[in-house]
Amino acid sequence: MVERTAAAEPVVRIEGLTFRYRRATEPAIRDISLTIDPGEVLLVAGPSGCGKSTLIRAINGLIPHAYPGDLAGSVMVGGRSTSEWRLRDLAGIVGTVLQDPAKQIVGATVEAELAFGPENLGLERVEIRRRIGEVAERAGIRGLLGRETAALSGGERQLLAMGGILMLRPRLYVVDEPLANLDPASAARLLGILRDLADEGHAIVIVEHRVEEALDLRPDRVLYLEEGRTRYLGDTAGFLAVADPDAVKLPFDAVLARFRADPALMGATRQPGRHGQGPAPPDEQPRLEFRGVRAGFGDREVLHGIDARLGRREIVAVLGPNGSGKTTLFRTAMRLLAPTAGEIRVDGAPAFERSVAELATTFGYVFQSPSQMLFARTVREELTFGPRNLGRDAASFDFIVSDALRRTSLDGLDGILDRPPLTLSFGQQKRLALAIALSLQPPTLILDEPSAGQDHRTARRFMQEVLAIPGLESIFLVTHDVDLALTHADRILLFRDGRVVADGPPALVVEDLDRWIGCNLRPTSLMRANARWRPADAGFLDAQMLAAHVLTGTAAAESHGEGGLTVGTG
């Protein structure tokens, strides 16, 4: 590791930074001051809307060059104010990897993408080729050379986006939520690259919700933001001692330590919500059944003969790596994609006998991003769109709308019925998408990545609200969030390469650690803690509940001890 000294010139020096976007009424960040030294890793954490993205834009120069507004204080990069640098020159000092690699990648091939930055700087062809060779080696993407970017997986794209920045050889790397689209193996690889860069003397700023995994990077300091202000800036131990475990997902040991230090926090813990009624009896007719189902896109088969039964009254989570067929499974069930072989049955009848619209009265399908569906001028119009399409009686619309809003706790927002949906916050839009699905009064919900794009607190709250919806019989969810799946589901379907490789209660599915890791899933600290302390007759507990359980003194007697499930250290 590079020895950092107090005498080293900081790469970034921010003093009293406050910034308000041109059309905003309030500043996005207020009075931020910090320095970032060569070789330092700074983790920036905080709930959604805390000002993380604005801080990044201030460091990489997009503020003030691309985002006008009122800026007070100063941001010095490489000894000069960002307003004095041209973006072209700043690109050689600050390299930024944006959250969504699909938006960042502009090259049609891997080489074209890697070359994009150096080409913009007018570097010679020979030099660009030399850098491509070096970066491909460093980022572990040599095998991707020659491939089209469209054919890459989410993890490969993220590594390529990182490679595109490595090509510019900046002194500071700013990485915005790099783990959001990555399965655990790809995440570990990316964190390894960042750690190596820091050890060589580059400065790293990483913004990440998934704090537990980001801590693997061994950050030197953590900046914890809340409502645009610095809540904490200091070492990791101090951060773990002050961070709100409800707002940021912390390692289980840290949650336990916080609860031990401040027992009052336990009072705030709540059950994650109701579970379903457990695995369905073998003779009960399932809500959804797959019999040897094959499906795919064009010549590419994604599902290779799926056999699965999803009960009428259970919560089933589908886990697996990117591209393993999780979402395709339910798209096929909804007849959005035709199976090439096999049969799908809904409540005992062949699915193909029903239209997509008819299936929507059984399955309320909530897509990952609400912005894919919101179009109407008002929330009311949005909520009546589905019932209108299905020819429901217009006299029932008032009841349907108020019922859907009540069940999703949106009814408390002032003037909600007349608000344009796109003016709602992301979390509110997620709940509106849920209300839209409920407006067709289905007994079952299908949730595609319910925690995507939400911070820990919002995602937890969202799931609690979903589980508390009255009248729902079953929930099927697709997720990357291992802890969310384990703590909420009655049953896990584990997918790999378009096949079900495990099907059973969470405790049983995680028993085979090799299989778990083989599915590119990360053993989490919560898994380890549940294996050790969870009561034998209980389901997986979330961190807060488990910590409370441990500290109430019942844990010792009920602990599985060291002989319990052994998982990695996380």
Partner 1 sequence: MISTPRYLGRGSWLGSRDPRVPLVVGVLAAATVIQLWDIRIVSVLFVLGQAYYRTASIPFRLVRRQWAFAVLFVSILVLVNTILTGGAIGDFDRSDLHPLFYLPLLGTPISAESLSYGATQLLRFLTFITIGFPIAYAIAPSDLGPALARLRIPEKFAFGVDLTYRFIPSLAGDLQETIDAQRVRGYEWDKGRGGPIARVRRTVPLIVPLTMNAIVGAEDTIDAMDLRGFGTGRRSWLRELAYDRADRALLLTALAIFFAVTIASLMGLTKLWVFPPLLTLAGE
Residues between 77 and 136 with contacts to partner 1, criterion CB under 8 A: 86-89, 91-92, 94-96, 98, 100, 102-109, 111-112, 115-125, 128-129
* Residue among 49 and 118 whose Cβ is closer to partner 1: 118
> Using alpha carbons only, how large is the chain's radius of gyration in Å?
25
> How far is it, in rounded angstroms, from Cα 351 to Cα 353?
5
Please state the closest distance from residue 337 (CB atom) to partner 1, in A: 9
DSSP 217: G
**Number of neighbouring beta carbons within 10 Å of residue 251:** 22
Which region, judged by CB under 8 A, interacts with partner 1, from 382-390, 483-491, 514-522, 559-567?
382-390
Site for partner 1 in 404-423 (CB under 8 A): 422
Task: End-to-end CA distance of the chain: give it in Å, rounded.
Answer: 22
Q: 337-356 mask for partner 1 (x: CB under 8 A)? A: -------------------x
Q: 25-64 mask for partner 1 (x: CB under 8 A)? A: -----------------------------------xxx--
> How far is it, in rounded angstroms, from Cα 275 to Cα 457?
19
Which region, judged by CB under 8 A, interacts with partner 1, from 134-142, 301-309, 381-389, 449-457?
381-389
Give 350-407 as a DSSP string.
EGGGS-HHHHTTTEEEE-S-GGGT---SSHHHHHHHHHHHTT--GGGHHHHHHHHHHH
Question: Which of 21, 385, 397, 426 is close enough to bind partner 1 by CB under 8 A?
Answer: 385
Which region, judged by CB under 8 A, interacts with partner 1, from 31-39, 177-185, 357-365, 393-401?
357-365
Buried b (16+ CB within 10 A) or exposed e, 45-68: bbbbbbbbbbbbbbbbbbbbeeee
Please state the closest distance from residue 418 (CB atom) to partner 1, in A: 18
* Residue among 87 and 268 whose Cβ is closer to partner 1: 87
* Residue among 222 and 346 whose Cβ is closer to partner 1: 346
Q: In what order do the strands lie in the sheet with 221-226?
A: 94-97, 172-176, 203-207, 41-45, 221-226, 229-234
* Residue among 153 and 464 whose Cβ is closer to partner 1: 153
Site for partner 1 in 172-211 (CB under 8 A): none
Which region, judged by CB under 8 A, interacts with partner 1, from 4-12, 312-320, 432-440, 451-459?
432-440
CB-count burial class (<10 Å; 0-12, 13-18, 19+) for 12 = buried
Number of residues that bind partner 1 (CB under 8 A): 71
Contact 487, 272 (CB under 8 A): yes
Secondary structure class of 478 (helix, strand, coil): strand
Question: Which of 157, 326, 430, 532 is close enough to bind partner 1 by CB under 8 A?
Answer: 157
Please state the closest distance from residue 253 (CB atom) to partner 1, in A: 36
Please state the closest distance from residue 126 (CB atom) to partner 1, in A: 10
Question: Which of 336, 394, 508, 538 is close enough to bind partner 1 by CB under 8 A?
Answer: 336
> How far is it, in rounded angstroms, from Cα 130 to Cα 126?
6
Please state the closest distance from residue 203 (CB atom) to partner 1, in A: 16
> How far is it, in rounded angstroms, from Cα 35 to Cα 121?
28
320 contributes a contact to partner 1 by CB under 8 A:
no
- Quick one: which H or E segment has residue 189? helix 184-199
Site for partner 1 in 435-454 (CB under 8 A): 436-437, 440
